[in-house]
Amino acid sequence: MAGTKLASFEYEIFGKVQGVFFRKNTQKTAKSLGLVGWVRNTERKTVEGVAQGEEEKLAEMKKWLQTKGSRNSRIDRAVFKNEKSVSNLEFKDFVVRH
């Protein structure tokens, strides 16, 4: 990974994002991009998580979280916070938390 910049961000997605395979699709997309982190449903009927990896791939993930989601989802708003550069990844994989 020499020369690649690693970064991290937290996200929360609002809309119709529970019960529509949003978490599973988020995991699949993140893994395909080589990202690590996690995703889970909240009691607020949103989906939240953390994504870490190469900056370029994180930009793709952000776009996916804002515009695509799963087939039957409806994304009203995507909030990103705690965006930062990291020297090491804190996770080994991208998992669905319960």
- CA angle centred on 92, ends 44 and 20, rounded to 5°: 35
- Which residue is catalytic, options 41, 44, 82, 88? 41
- Catalytic residue list contains 41: yes
Three-class DSSP category at 45: coil
- Catalytic residue list contains 23: yes
Structure tokens at 64: 């996916």
Q: Put the strands of the sheet holding 94-96 in their side by side order.
A: 74-85, 6-16, 47-54, 36-41, 94-96
Catalytic machinery residues: 23, 41
